[in-house]
Amino acid sequence: MEFCCSTALCPSSPSICALILFLSSCRYNVTRWIFDGLPTRSVVTWNSFLAALAHRRDVRTAREFFVAMPVWDARSWNTLLATPGSSRGCA
C-alpha cells in the first residue's frame, strides 16, 4: 500500500522522518509499513529508519538494512557505528 505524497509527507520532509523516529520505539510494524509505503525514498528517510533500528538496539536488522541502502553518507555510517553492540567482536 502506498502513501499519497502530499507536501507534508514527501519522503525527505521533516514530518515523515519525525514520524518514523517517533513510532519506532513502540510501533515498529507501523513504522516499517510507513517506510515501505513511501513511493520514493530519500537518503534522509533511509537514515531515519536506520536510526530507528539503532534506537531499538536491533543490531542485526540495522546491519541488514544498511547493506540494502542504495546510498550511504556520513550520517548512515555514524548511525550504524553508534548502534549499541555494533562493534562487538572488533579488535
Helices first, then strands: H and E counts in the chain: 5, 0
Q: How far apart are CA 24 and CA 46, in angstroms?
A: 13
Q: Kindly report the backbone phi and psi dihedral angles of residue 17, in degrees, each rounded to the nearest multiple of 5, phi listed first.
A: -65, -40
Q: How far apart are CA 44 and CA 4, in angstroms?
A: 18
Q: Where are the domains of the chain?
A: 11-82
What pLDDT does 13 receive?
65
Q: What 3-state class would DSSP assign to 33?
A: helix
Taking the whole predicted model, whether its pTM rises above 0.75 is answered as no
- Tell me what percent of the residues of the chain surpass a pLDDT of 90: 7
pLDDT digits (tens, 9 = 90+) for 47-66: 888 888 888 888 888 889 89
